[in-house]
Amino acid sequence: MNKVLLGSLTSASFLLLLIFTVRASLVRSVIANGPLMRDVWFQVTLLDAYLSFFTVYVWIAWKERTLLRRSVWFLLVIIFGNMAISLYVLLQLVKLPRASSLSDILTKRNEPGKFTRRDES
For residue 99, give its domain range.
3-107
Number of domains in the chain: 1
pLDDT for the residue numbered 121: 47
pLDDT for the residue numbered 116: 56
Domain annotation covers residue 23: yes
Domain annotation covers residue 70: yes
Give the span between the Cα atoms of 73 and 64, in whole angstroms: 9
Between 75 and 98, where is the model more confident?
75
Give the span between the Cα atoms of 16 and 21, in whole angstroms: 8
Instruction: Give the dihedral sign, CA 27/31/37/41.
Output: positive
Domain annotation covers residue 121: no
Burial 63-85 (b: 16+ CB within 10 A, else e): bbeeeebbeebbebbeebbbbbb
Cβ distance 58 to 70 under 8 Å? no
Residue 60's Cβ-count burial label (10 Å; 0-12, 13-18, 19+) is buried
What average pLDDT is seen over the chain?
Answer: 89
Domain annotation covers residue 56: yes
Which residue in 77, 75, 82 sits closest to 20, CA to CA?
Answer: 82
Domain annotation covers residue 17: yes
Domain annotation covers residue 120: no
Domain annotation covers residue 103: yes
Write out pLDDT tens, residues 26-63.
Answer: 998 878 888 888 899 999 999 999 999 999 999 999 99
Measured N-to-C along each axis, helices 67-80 and 82-95 cross at an angle, to the nearest 10 degrees, of: 140
Domain annotation covers residue 68: yes
